Structure 1
Amino acid sequence: MMDTARKLDVIDARPAFTQADADALNARFEGMGTLEMLRTLFSEDTLGEVGVVSSFGTESAVLLHLVAQADPAIPVIFVDTLKMFPETLDYRETLVSAFGIKDSRVVTPKPETLAAKDDKGLRWSFDPDGCCDIRKVEPLARAKHGLDTWISGRKAFQSVTRQNLPRFEIEDGRLKLNPLGDWTKADLDAYFEEHALPRHPLEAQGYLSIGCEPCTSKVMPGEDPRAGRWRGWDKVECGIHTTSTPLGDPDDPANQPVF
């Protein structure tokens, strides 16, 4: 994407961005404020085709507010797994309206995939990686088709798997931008307060990280903010940001739920 020497009449299968591009962008924008960085990137069209991926969780309002201030026409993508809390769906509508987001997109799992791999809707209970794969990872992969850059709301403080996040990184040939990577919980809370942003209605009930309803529980005092996700499983990510390992054959009796 940053190589201006490419010829338009030649099919170019190279990735839009390389690690060298990410390194250069990290160096260029080091120390720059988040909003100023976003405004610069959008105005210069540095990112190519770009979209924001949002879970509309407890912290999502901060990134969405920043992006909407920089350019409200930037697409915002939401993966509705069809297992979401009703409160999350309502919160999405609230934020889209409040921030004037002009291009709000929703992607869902393919019905034929659910019929083949999760016809009873219970795969989350015995193969959470596989459930995330068909309900979240694959739909998002479709939504990202055609994007050169996608913007993530990850922060380093959220869990050990997210430490040392760079602002810019490369994933599958795309640029991945983490504008809030170095923000702390205190930074987020201060931004919520300064701009009077709406809070997710479940946060006050102890849900600090919110995903699908069956796999989300309240977080106890002193726990990691993401401790309420997939509680009881050796799993801390859905597979969007890390590789998951679904069961190979859900029809194998060894992989069936015991209840």
Structure 2
Amino acid sequence: MSNVDEIMAKARQMPLLSSASTRLLALLGDEDHGLSDVAKIIETDAALTARILQIVNSAAFGLRQSISTVAAAVPYVGEKLIVSLSINQSAPQVFNRPLIGYESQRGELWEHGLRTAIAASALSSKSRKEIQAGVAYTAGILHDIGKSVLSKFLTGCSPEMIKSIDDGEIHDFLEAEEEKTGVNHCKIGRELARHWRLPPELEQAIAFHHKPSESDKKYRSMVYIVHLADMVAMMGGTGTGTDNLAYSLDKQYTEYIDIDQKGIDHLLLSVMMEFEKTKEALFGPEKESEG
């Protein structure tokens, strides 16, 4: 078995998402869905139900009366926070461990994904084509999942990869991944997306967020949103370790997203503020992110 085959096999061996998470992600693509549909899915998952009720009754929400049902909790918690929680709880093997090959600490992949998600959700309103904010948000969380598989195969390689980039021998970290393993985290992420049976728009965002011009035209606006959101998250100082180096921004994003540099600067500030609020709601004011 070649190195690439071994890595791809590892992606296919990853635990599946919970049934509730899979159904929630599919539901987001339905323009006609409502919060009652979200609540019905949550109610099928006891652990997710308990966590949602714990969060809605926490100090972060400051409600005067206790909430005891999912149906009552969902409007307060909101769809995006529910999706964040569901994915984090359903895929600890992806988000709840350090990425040694990227010199990234436990929780950094999750925090970068969450910042990217917040930025992508905001950018969806600037898209020249109608894009659902919930789908953009979810794509932002999931865009780097391939790193959770590839990390092991890059252990100890970061110093040499950084030197190759600094010396101009290779263009960016994506190319460095290919050089070392024969594959990159986008390709591995796509394999994992297929294993998880994610909707096509999420698969495209995962597979092409570094090279959005190569994505399927049907989903290209979404992919450009995640591409730019990824950059915004990195501008805020949160990548996943050494892969922040030499990130290449495709300037064609202006053909798909109506935003200028001033708008990006404003977005960066708003993402930082919303990230802290979301993190507090999920994990409490004095706890570091668990995922």
Same fold (TM over 0.5): no
Q: When you count helix as a share of all residues, which structure comes out higher?
A: 2
Q: When you count strand as a share of all residues, which structure comes out higher?
A: 1
TM-score under structure 2 length normalisation: 0.28
TM-score under structure 1 length normalisation: 0.30
